[in-house]
Amino acid sequence: MIGKRGIRSLAQFLELQNADVLRFLLDKHHLQTSELLDAIEYRSGVLNALVTSLESGSEAKIVSLLNEIARTRWDLRYRVSPEYRYDERIADLEACLQLDGYILANTLTPIDPSVIGAPPLEDDLTRELLASGLPSATDVTRKLSDSVDAFRASTPNYNASLNDARVALQALATDIANVRLATNHGTFDPTKWGSVIAYLRDTGFVTLEEEKGLVGVFGFVSPGSHRPIGFSELEFARLGRSLVTGMCWFLVKRFVLNRMLTPNSQIVVGRERREACFVRGF
């Protein structure tokens, strides 16, 4: 499914077109509304009206529109002056769609066909974070947004994108560990990822296998990690961000579920101590 970011980027792209082309495109794909027609006629509030219209449309209609944009991109480019405005907006749209799991080339192609129709994980993560009550939820969301901005920049900085994602993951885990200090024994070093994750396992928040998964993803996107053979920088950054987003979503969902339960029935996993299995100072 195309996420909120992709919808807004699509609206910015469409706003470049003249009124006749815009009306025809949206009518052809059954995405017109009376409010949008009024906005186009008076050229007032068109961007907001486009977002509202696109968000109310079905995924099939959005995909149909994007497929036409992919097939006729040069015709649409010819109609925009100066053409660099088109180039900037189509580049942003392509980057946003990549973050949603799609490639816009000669057609709109899902990177992972198994997730077609599923809401973008990053949209779910943002909602869960802001509703979690975690002290640093806004800061974590901001770092994830910084990661997106670096990925979407006119000159993309994929290293910065991965670094911001890694910082967000560490900040979230540390925040959860700090909250758990109030009801659990033990200590941890908040500056060391391995210490934070070991504490979460030691206090029953994650299992040993879950700890390994978190540590593995953190290492995968950390500075100094080598890009796997056969991956472009863009592909590796997209994969790394996807893995980090998934782990952040896992942590916040586990935190919210524990908070919903009474203290006597909290989820406790892997409480037994196996100090030799801890990954410290990672």
Q: What is the mean pLDDT of the chain?
A: 85
Check whether 282 has a pLDDT greater than 50. Answer: no
Q: Is residue 178 in some structural domain? A: yes
Identify the domain boundary among 115, 130, 149: 115
The domain tally of the chain equals: 2
Looking at the fold, whether 103 and 36 belong to one and the same domain comes out as yes
Q: What is the pLDDT of residues 152-194, one digit of tens each?
A: 887 889 889 999 999 999 999 999 999 999 888 889 999 999 9
The pLDDT of 9-22, averaged and rounded, is 93
- Cβ–Cβ < 8 Å for 219, 228: no
d(Cα 99, Cα 161) in Å, to the nearest integer?
12
Task: Give the span between the Cα atoms of 164 and 178, in whole angstroms.
Answer: 21
Structural domain contains residue 261: yes
Whether 36 and 58 map to the same domain: the answer is yes
- Could you say which of 115, 143, 162 is where a domain stops? 115
My answer on whether 8 and 34 are in the same domain is yes
Residue 87 is predicted with a pLDDT of 95
Q: 23 and 151 share a domain?
A: no
Q: Tell whether 65 is covered by a domain.
A: yes
Instruction: Answer with the one of 94, 115, 136 that is the final residue of a domain.
Output: 115
Task: Give the model confidence (pLDDT) of 36-86 as tens digits.
Answer: 888 888 888 999 999 999 998 888 899 999 999 999 999 999 999 999 999
In a shared domain, residues 142 and 108: no
User: Is 282 part of any domain?
Assistant: no
Token duo for residue 253: 């969902």
Q: Are residues 157 and 111 in the same domain?
A: no
Q: Where are the alpha helices (DSSP H) in the chain?
A: 4-15, 19-28, 34-42, 46-56, 59-71, 73-78, 83-100, 121-132, 137-152, 158-180, 193-202, 208-220, 233-260
Confidence of residue 231 (pLDDT cuts 50, 70, 90): confident
Say which range, 66-75, 123-132, 253-262, 272-281, has the weakest mean pLDDT: 272-281
d(CA 201, CA 271): 7
Domain hosting 205: range is 121-277
One domain for residues 83 and 170? no
Q: Are residues 264 and 143 in the same domain?
A: yes
Q: Using CA atoms, how far apart are residues 19 and 21, in angstroms rounded to an integer?
A: 6
Q: Is the domain of 40 the same as that of 19?
A: yes
33 occurs within a structural domain:
yes
Q: Is 176 found in the same domain as 97?
A: no
Residues 261 and 137 in one domain: yes
Confidence (pLDDT) at 113: 53
Assess whether pLDDT exceeds 90 at residue 268: no
Three-class SS state of 104: strand
Q: Say yes or no: 29 and 135 in one domain.
A: no
* pLDDT of residue 102 exceeding 50: yes
Q: Using CA atoms, how far apart are residues 123 and 182, in angstroms rounded to an integer?
A: 30
The per-residue pLDDT for range 239-264, each reduced to its tens digit, is 888 899 899 999 999 998 887 765 54
